[in-house]
Structure formats: structure tokens, C-alpha cells
Amino acid sequence: MQDLALQLALIGFAGIASQWLAWKLRLPAIVLLFAVGLLFGPLTGAMNPRNDFGDLYTPLVSTAVAIILFEGGLTLNFREIRETSTAVRRIVLLSGPMVWLLTALAAHYVGDLSWPTSLVLGALLVVTGPTVIMPLLRHAKLKARPASILRWEAIVNDPLGALFAVICFEGYLVIHGQHAAEGLVLDVIFALVIAIGGGIAAGRALGWLFTRGHAPEYLKAPILFAVVVAMNALTNLVLEEAGLLTVTVMGITMANARISSLNELKRFKETITILLVSGLFIVLTASLEAETILSLEWKAVAFIVAVLFIIRPLAIGLSTIGAGLDWKERLLVSWIAPRGIVAVAVAGLFGATLTNLGVADGDRMIAYTFAVVAATILLHGFTLGPLAKLLDLKAAARPGVLLVGASRFTIALARRLKAQEVPVLIADSNWSRISEARLAEVETWYGEILSEAAHHNLNLSRFDHMIAATDNDAYNALITTDFAPEIGRSDVFQIGETGESERRSMSFTIGGLPLFKPGKSFAQLRDLVVDGWNFQATRLTDEFSYKKFVETRVEGTQILLWIKPSGALVFASSEGSGDPVEGDTIISFGPPRADRDQEKIAKATTTDKDVRAERARRTIESVKRKAQTL
């Protein structure tokens, strides 16, 4: 395909379509992206971006990877790893070098690669790829500690692995007389100074610029984007690929600064990153040539087995001894190590360069890297969820509900959902109200839901839905607006009456969906609970259909949601929710049972004055007499 504009459009469309399809089918997105890249490139020969893009290929890939790593750095806050900081340090500082050394030995003695190729390949496979691990973590919904360890390792190890590969490559040039050893040492030291010192300085400078009001809101994201690209390019002038470390340090620095607009910047960068990851993975995979894939033999399979089943578990097992992790967490972390874009991009760069310098098996490094990437994407992508479930390391086996505001209404709802095995938690900053929820044996979180402590300590991956039900409608709107980008705008709900006029109603872009239609205020719900209204769970069957359910309810009863047999929750007030069907369990909010019986009697008396009405009346009178005697 010679038309580059059409090629870019096809790559972009296929990348986002793969992301959407993966979300719809609940599959790891990286698996579909890898398959699309193979289809576009080696399998059909429709495109070869490396040849088609020419000299622009390498700088475009390098810049895209730098932006992805910076966005990853923005997610790393030191408060998040207070419990796992020891484990993270050991995995990066001890496990990384061990993986490098052992992988190089395996590449030479098992894969039969030359020492230059083996050393560079060993360095490359230190990385575990945030572009792969992030979608997997989003899909698997792990508990906070193992998720934090895997995320930190992936983001910090990526630039370090690339830097290790650069040092190996430059070392080869020194040995063969193309560089002076003193020059390499100075370049490495200078690059580290720029990467660490420059990354911290740039991050703090941007924080000062943004917090002091020296940049308007509409320019903050463009300024950030331009500085990331510039810092990556400047560091690369000193030492190739060292810019990845610079932008990672810069992102971590900004993540730990108190920048009020950081959330908006994160969302912008996350959007850019999804686009780049989707397109970049297809580009890199499509650039792989069929001859390279066919060059793989049984030695490559043996090498992959050694990397996945011996080297990684051994390195993690030794480095995490006494690091405060239990055996389940150590086992999960030792298995999950998918490689991604950085390994592929740097392998393509150095593989071709080594071949041009006379290393006969330089191209085989590209094939081995892709083989490891493909194996880890498939094996780790499809086993992370089941393994986490087997080890009881998933945050929640079913979609959960986060309730904000402890009251009789939310406590009653939480108890009903808990009885249906739906994960539920009530958050409130008032101790007396939260105490009532704790007495009701409902899981609680005491504190301000909008605080940094809640952001770092409350694992939101457990919850697919939020209900803001405090006594302040404006506060409910603020909470749902803040959490909507993370949980999903169609999955955040709030109580409260809708405004009677345009002047009093909020903008449709603010707040969550109404929990009830028409809306009910906090006071109304409180009075209904005092009057005896409660929540009921009713399962629909072949004999008891939705139509019969509606017919047997007292007037005023409202369906809040229903639970599908798969555990998925469908809220009645959601757009396009439809009606519950056989097998669904309806959670309804209505008057007490005695009032329902009276309603049945009234209906029976007016429509059919037969024995059933008399029997119902006698039953109620009998219950009242027994209550009086007690």
C-alpha cells in the first residue's frame, strides 16, 4: 500500500476498532492488535511501515514510545506504594539485572545466538511493557498490591531495559574500535544526569508554570506535549534511547506534585496514549517480515520456555524474599511479565544496525523478540484473570457498587445487594453515620471520597457502578462528575430532584444519571424508609414473568436495578436498559408487605369478590392478633 495517508487511516481505524471489540468481548486488546498487525504485514504483505515510512519510521516510533512512557509515569504516585515500595525496589534493582544476565546466557547457550546479540536481547527482555500490562490490569481488576507492583515495574523497567540495550550496543562498538571506552562512559554518565536531573527539573518547572497561573488552561496540554517530545529528543542526542528514562522521570515528578489540573492533563494524555498504542503496535507488528518469522526454529521455543518458566520466576522469587509479599502475590508477579512496544521498537533498531555492522544473527534478535512478545501476550493475556481468581487476588469476582453517603436508605440497599453477593461499599466522612453502616455489617470506607487518600487507598477497580446519595444534591453532582471518567459516565448515579426550571436545573454535562425517575430527594427517601419501605429481591422464572411481577407490585414500587445471571448489573434508569427477562433478579424499592396485602385485598374486592379476598383478610387479622398477644 503506497498511499501513506490511506495507510495511516487504515491503521488508526483498525487500532481503535480492535480496542472497541476487545472491550465488547472482554478480551485483552493487545491480542487483537497483534493479530491485526500480523494480518496487515507478514500474512498478506499489504503494508510494511518500516519501508513505507522510510527515514521517518525510527523517530516517529521513538517519539510515540516516549509519550506512552510519560503518560505511564503520570500514574505513579509514591503514596500508592507505601506497602510495596520494598518489593518494587527489589524487583527493579535486583530482578532486572538478574533477568538481563540469565536471559543473555539463555540466548547464547539455548538460542545459539552470538554474544553481542545475546547481551542486547537480554537487556531488551528486562522490560515488561506498560503498553501491554495496563490493558491487562484494566481487564483483570486485580487487588491493589499486585496491580501496583506490576504497573510500577512495567513503567520503570521499560526505559531501564532500553538503556541497558544501548549500553550493550555501544560496548560492542567500543570493543570493535568504533568508539573510545572513555567516550562511552562519559556519554552514559552525561545521559543519566540529563535523564534524571533534567526529568526532575522539567517536571518541577512545568508544575511551577501551571500552579502559578503562567499558562492558560487551553495551552497546558500542548505545552506538556511539546516539552515531552523535546526532552526525549535532547537526551537522545547524548545517548540513543536515553530519552525514555528522561520522560519517565518527568512524568513521575509531575505525578507527585500538587498540580490541580493534573487530572485533566492525565485524561488528555491517556486519550493520546490509547491512540498511539493502538496504532504503534500494529505498525511494529506489520513491519515484521515473513522471512524473519520463518527463521524461528525449536531453539527459539526452548529459549521462550527458559525465559517464561525459569528465568522470570527465579529472578522474582529471589529478589522478593522478605519483601512483605505473600506467596500468592509472588507467584502472580513471577508469572505475569508481558513484553511490548519498547522491546519490539528497540529490537528493530539494534537488530538492523548489528546486521549492518557484520553481526550475522542480528536479524534473529528481532525474530526472538517478537516470539517472546507474542508468547507473553497470548499466555499472560489469557491467564492473568483465571490465575488471579484462583489465587484470590482479584479485587472483585463480580461487578460492585460504590455508595457515597451512609443513611438508612443506602444501608438497606447495601444489605440487599450484599445478600445477592454483589460487592458493595459505603463511603462517608461522618463517623456517626459510617458507624451505623458498620453495625449493619456492610463494608465501609471512612473519609472524604474526593481526597487523595481515597484515590490512592480505595481500589476503584472493584466497582463498576457508583451511587451518590448524600443529603446535598450539588455534592452528589460533584462526586459523580469527578468519578465518571474512571467508572464510566453511564454507570454513575445520584439521588435528588430534577430542577423545575432551566434556571434551577444543572447542565446535562454535570452530575450522574438519576437513580429514580422521577427523581427522589434525600428527605423523600428518608421518609419512605421510616414509613417502612424496603428493598426486595425477586427472581424472574418461566412461571413468574416480568409482567406478573409488575402486576403483583403495589402502586409506587420502583425497580432500581436487576442482576443478570452473569452477575452484571443493569440499572432501570439507564438509557436503553430495556426490561428484565427470565433468570434476572430484580431489586425493587417499595412499601412494606402488609400494605401490599391490603392492596391485593382492595383489588380482589373490586374486581372479583370471591373466597381469595376473604382468606387474605383473615390472614392479616390473624397476624395482628398474634402480634398483640406477644
* pLDDT tens figures, 581-595: 999 999 999 987 655
Q: In the predicted model, is pLDDT for residue 600 greater than 60?
A: no
* Range from 101-110, 377-386, 497-506 carrying the lowest mean pLDDT: 497-506
* Range from 265-269, 322-326, 487-491, 517-521 carrying the lowest mean pLDDT: 265-269
pLDDT band at 624 (very low <50, low <70, confident <90, very high): low
The answer to whether residues 15 and 282 touch, using CB atoms and an 8 Å cutoff, is: yes
Peptide bond between residue 146 and the one before it cis (omega within 30 degrees of 0):
no
The answer to whether residues 225 and 265 touch, using CB atoms and an 8 Å cutoff, is: no
In the chain, residues under CATH classification 3.40.50.720 are: 400-591
Give me the mean pLDDT over the 190-212 stretch.
89
Q: In the predicted model, is pLDDT for residue 601 greater than 50?
A: no
Task: Report the sign of the C-alpha dihedral through residues 376, 382, 387, 389, in that order.
Answer: positive
Q: HEC string of 510-559?
A: CCCEECCCCCCCHHHHHHHHHCCCEEEEEECCCCCCHHHHHHCCCCCCEE
* Range from 59-63, 72-76, 203-207, 624-628 carrying the lowest mean pLDDT: 624-628
The answer to whether residues 354 and 362 touch, using CB atoms and an 8 Å cutoff, is: yes
The answer to whether residues 434 and 550 touch, using CB atoms and an 8 Å cutoff, is: no
251 or 79, which is more confident:
251
Q: Using CA atoms, how far apart are residues 249 and 201, in angstroms rounded to an integer? A: 10
Q: In the predicted model, is pLDDT for residue 82 greater than 70?
A: no
The answer to whether residues 113 and 296 touch, using CB atoms and an 8 Å cutoff, is: no
The answer to whether residues 193 and 246 touch, using CB atoms and an 8 Å cutoff, is: no
pLDDT band at 185 (very low <50, low <70, confident <90, very high): confident
pLDDT band at 628 (very low <50, low <70, confident <90, very high): low
Residue 80 is predicted with a pLDDT of 67
Most confident range (mean pLDDT) of 178-187, 288-297, 507-516, 543-552 is: 543-552
Q: Which amino acid is at 620?
A: I
For domain 4-390, the CATH class is: mainly alpha
* pLDDT tens figures, 1-50: 667 888 889 999 999 999 899 888 877 777 888 889 889 988 888 888 88
Q: HEC string of 200-230?
A: HHHHHHHHHHHHCCCCCHHHHHHHHHHHHHH
Residue 621 is predicted with a pLDDT of 62
Question: Minimal CA–CA distance to 8: which of 238, 243, 282, 269?
Answer: 282
By the 10 Å C-beta count (0-12 exposed, 13-18 middle, 19+ buried), 502 is classed as exposed
Residue 56 is predicted with a pLDDT of 85
Q: Using CA atoms, how far apart are residues 20 and 220, in angstroms rounded to an integer? A: 29
**Could you give the strand order of the β-sheet that contains 534-539, starting from the edge strand earlier in sequence?**
534-539, 585-590, 558-563, 569-571
Q: Using CA atoms, how far apart are residues 89 and 383, in angstroms rounded to an integer? A: 26
Residue 411 is predicted with a pLDDT of 94
Phi, then psi, of 299 in degrees rounded to 5 = -65, -35
Q: In the predicted model, is pLDDT for residue 262 greater than 80?
A: no
Residue 597 is predicted with a pLDDT of 52
Q: In the predicted model, is pLDDT for residue 507 greater than 60?
A: no
Q: Using CA atoms, how far apart are residues 454 and 427, in angstroms rounded to an integer? A: 10
- Mention every residue, 6+ apart, whose C-beta is less than 8 A from residue 238: 187, 190, 191, 194
Question: Minimal CA–CA distance to 72: which of 211, 337, 273, 238?
Answer: 273
Q: In the predicted model, is pLDDT for residue 244 greater than 70?
A: yes
Give me the mean pLDDT over the 225-249 stretch.
88
The DSSP H or E segment spanning 507 is none
3-state DSSP call for residue 463? strand
In the chain, residues under CATH classification 1.20.1530.20 are: 4-390
pLDDT band at 389 (very low <50, low <70, confident <90, very high): confident
Residue 605 is predicted with a pLDDT of 45
Give me the mean pLDDT over the 560-573 stretch.
90
pLDDT band at 312 (very low <50, low <70, confident <90, very high): very high
Query: Quick one: what percent of the chain has pLDDT higher than 70?
Result: 89
Q: HEC string of 9-39?
A: HHHHHHHHHHHHHHHHHCCCHHHHHHHHHHH
Give me the mean pLDDT over the 313-331 stretch.
91
Q: In the predicted model, is pLDDT for residue 598 greater than 60?
A: no
pLDDT band at 607 (very low <50, low <70, confident <90, very high): very low
Residue 341 is predicted with a pLDDT of 73
- Angle formed by the axes of helices 115-124 and 96-109, to 10°? 140
Residue 217 is predicted with a pLDDT of 83
By the 10 Å C-beta count (0-12 exposed, 13-18 middle, 19+ buried), 367 is classed as buried
598 or 300, which is more confident:
300
Share the mean pLDDT of the chain: 83
For domain 400-591, the CATH class is: alpha beta
pLDDT band at 604 (very low <50, low <70, confident <90, very high): very low
Give me the mean pLDDT over the 118-122 stretch.
91
The DSSP H or E segment spanning 503 is none
Query: Quick one: what percent of the chain has pLDDT higher than 90?
Result: 26
Q: What is the pTM of this model?
A: 0.73
The DSSP line for 274-317 is HHHHHHHHHHHHHTS-HHHHHT--HHHHHHHHHIIIIIHHHHHH
Separation in Å, CA 374 to CA 138, 220, 224, 280:
20, 38, 33, 15
CA dihedral 320, 321, 324, 329 (to 10 degrees): 60
The DSSP H or E segment spanning 565 is none
Residue 328 is predicted with a pLDDT of 92
DSSP state of 392: T
118 or 341, which is more confident:
118
